[in-house]
Structure 1
Amino acid sequence: MEAKELLQALVVAERLKDTTRHCYTSQGRHESVAEHSWMMTLMAFLMKREFPDADMNKVIQMCIIHDLGECFTGDIPTFEKTKEHEVTEDRLLNDWITSLPAATRDEMMALYKEMEERQTVEAKIYKAIDGLEALIQHNFSDLSTWSENEFELNLTYADDKVQFSAYLSSLREEIRNDTLKKIAERSS
C-alpha cells in the first residue's frame, strides 16, 4: 500500500477513536469502538497458547477490522441493531473496502467473508472474543451505567458463541461469576 493510500485509509479508521460504544470504562466515560477492538486484540494475543492449532494472527486481524463498518454508522448496541442497520453498515463498509488497493481489498474481503460464515475455528474464536469483551467491559463499568436489560443480558449473552471451546466456556463462566458478584453489590 502506498503511503498516500495508507493515510487515506487511516483517515477513515481514525473515526473509531471518537465513535463511542454503549459501554463505559471503569473510570466512567464511554468506551470508544477503537478501545473495544484493541481489548479484543489483546485478549486474542493473551489466549493464543490456548489454541495451538488456530492461526491466532488471523484472529487478531479479525479483531482489528471487525467493527470498521462503525466508522460510517456509529455503534448500535446489539439489542437495538436491526437487519436494516446491518445492511446499511455492510453496504457502506463494502463501498470503502472496494476503494482500497486490490491486495488489501481482497484480503479484507476474504476475512470478512470468513467472519460472517463462522465456519473456521479462527472465526469462531474472534466472534466469541467479541461477545466476551463486551461482557468483561460491562463488569469493569459502574452498575449505574447499565441499562435495565443488561442485568439479564450479561448473564446469558455469548453463551452460544463459546460452546465450541472448553477454554472459552470456562472464561464465560468466570465472567458470569463476576457479573453475579457485581449485581449482588446492587442489592447490598
Structure 2
Amino acid sequence: MEPKEFLAFLARLEKLKCNTRHSWTSSGRHESVAEHSWRLAMLAMLLRDALPEVDMDKVLRMCLIHDVGEAVTGDIPSFQKTDANEETERQAIAELLSPLPDGLRGELTALFAEMDALATPEARVYKALDKLEVVVQHNEAPLDTWLPLEYELNQTYGIPETAPFPPLAALREQARLDTLAKLAEKPGGC
C-alpha cells in the first residue's frame, strides 16, 4: 500500500472522531464513535489478566475495529438498529477495507466474521465489553441526557453477555448498582 493510499484510508477512519453516538459524556456532549472504541479497547487491555483463557490481544483488535463501518453509516443506537442497518454496515465495512493489502484485508474480514458469529470466547468477550462500556458511559452522563427507555435498559443491558465471564459479570453488577444509585438521585425516583 502506497503512503498516499494509506493516509487516504486513515482519513476515512477519521470520520469516527467526527461521528457522534447516542451516548453523552460527563461534560454534557455527545461522545464520538472513536471515543467509545478507545475506551472499549482500554477495557480489553486492562482486563487482560482477568481472563487468561481468552486471547485478549484478539479481543483488543476486535474492539478497535468493531465500529469502523460507522465511519460511513454513522451510529445507530442498538435499540433502533434493524437487520437492514446491519447489512448496510457490513457493506460499508467491506468497501472501507477494499483498498487494504490482501493479507490485512483478509485478517480484518475474518475478525468481523468471527465477531458476527459470536462463536468464540474472544468474540463473546468483545460483545460483552461493548455492552458494558455503553452502560458505564450512560452512568457517567447527566441523567437528563437519558431517554425514558434507558432507565430500565441501563439496568439490564449486557447482563446475559457478561454472565459467562465472572470478572465481567462483577463489573456489570457494579454498573447496575451505579445505575440504581443514579436513578435514585432523580426527583421522584425512577
The TM-score range, normalised by the shorter chain, is over 0.9
| Deviation by residue 1:66-123 (Cα, 9 ceiling, x = unmatched) | 0001011100001111111111111121122123211110010010011111111111
| Deviation by residue 1:8-65 (Cα, 9 ceiling, x = unmatched) | 2101110000000001000001000000000001111111110112211111100000
Q: In structure 1, the residue corresponding to 2:186 is in which secondary structure?
A: helix
| Deviation by residue 1:113-157 (Cα, 9 ceiling, x = unmatched) | 111111111111110010000000000000000001000000111
Mind listing any 5+ residue stretches in structure 1 that lack a counterpart?
none
Which letter does structure 2 place at the counterpart of 1:24?
W
Give percent identity, aligned residues only: 48
The aligned counterpart of 2:110 is 110
Q: In structure 2, the residue corresponding to 1:99 is in which secondary structure?
A: coil
The Cα shift of 1:6 comes to: 2.0
The aligned counterpart of 1:81 is 81
Q: In structure 2, the residue corresponding to 1:23 is in which secondary structure?
A: strand
Within 2, Cα distance between the matches of 1:62 and 1:48? 14
The aligned counterpart of 1:120 is 120
**Pairing 1:67–2:101 present:** no
Q: CA RMSD in A?
A: 1.1
Within 2, Cα distance between the matches of 1:170 and 1:123? 19
The aligned counterpart of 1:160 is 160
The aligned counterpart of 1:142 is 142
Within 1, Cα distance between the matches of 2:51 and 2:5? 35
Runs ≥4 residues deviating over 4 A? none
Within 1, Cα distance between the matches of 2:79 and 2:19? 18
Structure-1-length-normalised TM-score: 0.96
Which letter does structure 2 place at the counterpart of 1:100?
L
Number of equivalences: 188
The Cα shift of 1:2 comes to: 3.8
Which letter does structure 1 place at the counterpart of 2:104?
T
Q: In structure 1, the residue corresponding to 2:148 is in which secondary structure?
A: coil
Within 2, Cα distance between the matches of 1:160 and 1:8? 39
